[in-house]
């Protein structure tokens, strides 16, 4: 069960890393853009995941996530919480987020809230703020993860 939890956590982190896509929002004055995309990641087995984001426009990228906590039990016996940091490397710069997620080991389903770090991001993403949401699943016990990402990135002026 411990291995299954670690694999699930790694998968969730990987999914969080990669599912970004940007399309202009209706509010150009705020310099915020909607984010959407597909994330595909692999568990590296060492507390990290790596993968790619596609269908993400500006956020088509490689991703890497590193877990920053162990799985923590929740009141639901099959569900655990975790934290990780995600790095999304694009041709336009690096977007970094700090994430809080939950993972259900019985179903392989996970979800995470990713807060963009304006100080750790670079290039076009330097000073950016916003929140991304990652929702996905592992179908192979945590070796790989597939997810979708949504949210909003507000670029610094």
The whole-angstrom separation of Cα 146 and Cα 110 is: 10
Q: Residue 84 and residue 98: Cα distance in Å, rounded?
A: 6
Query: What's the predicted TM-score (pTM) here?
Result: 0.80
The CA-based dihedral angle spanning residues 137, 139, 142, 148, taken in that order and rounded to the nearest 10 degrees: -30
Band the pLDDT of 2: cuts 50, 70, 90: low
Contact predicate 99/13, CB 8 Å: yes
Average pLDDT, the chain: 86
pLDDT tens track for 37-64: 999 999 999 999 999 999 988 889 999 9
Residue spans of the domains in the chain: they are 2-154
What does the pLDDT average to over 144-154?
Answer: 96
**What CATH number matches the domain at 2-154, 2.40.350, 3.30.160, 2.10.260, 1.10.3470?**
2.40.350
Token pair in block for residue 54: 């596609």
Average pLDDT (90-107) is 97
pLDDT value of residue 30? 66
Instruction: State yes or no: pLDDT of 113 exceeds 50.
Output: yes
């Amino acid at each position: 069960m411990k291995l299954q939890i670690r694999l699930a956590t790694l998968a969730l982190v990987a999914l969080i890393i990669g599912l970004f896509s940007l399309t202009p929002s209706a509010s150009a004055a705020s310099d915020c853009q909607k984010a959407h995309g597909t994330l595909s990641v692999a568990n590296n087995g060492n507390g990290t995941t790596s993968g790619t984001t596609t269908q993400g426009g500006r956020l088509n990228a490689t991703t890497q996530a590193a877990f920053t906590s162990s799985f923590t039990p929740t009141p639901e016996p099959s569900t655990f919480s975790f934290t990780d940091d995600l790095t999304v490397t694009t041709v336009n710069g690096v977007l970094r987020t700090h994430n809080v997620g939950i993972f259900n080991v019985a179903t392989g389903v996970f979800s995470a809230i990713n807060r963009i770090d304006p100080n750790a991001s670079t290039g076009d993403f330097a000073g950016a703020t916003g929140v991304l949401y990652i929702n996905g699943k592992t179908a192979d016990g945590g070796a790989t993860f597939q997810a979708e990402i949504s949210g909003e990135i507000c670029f610094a002026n």
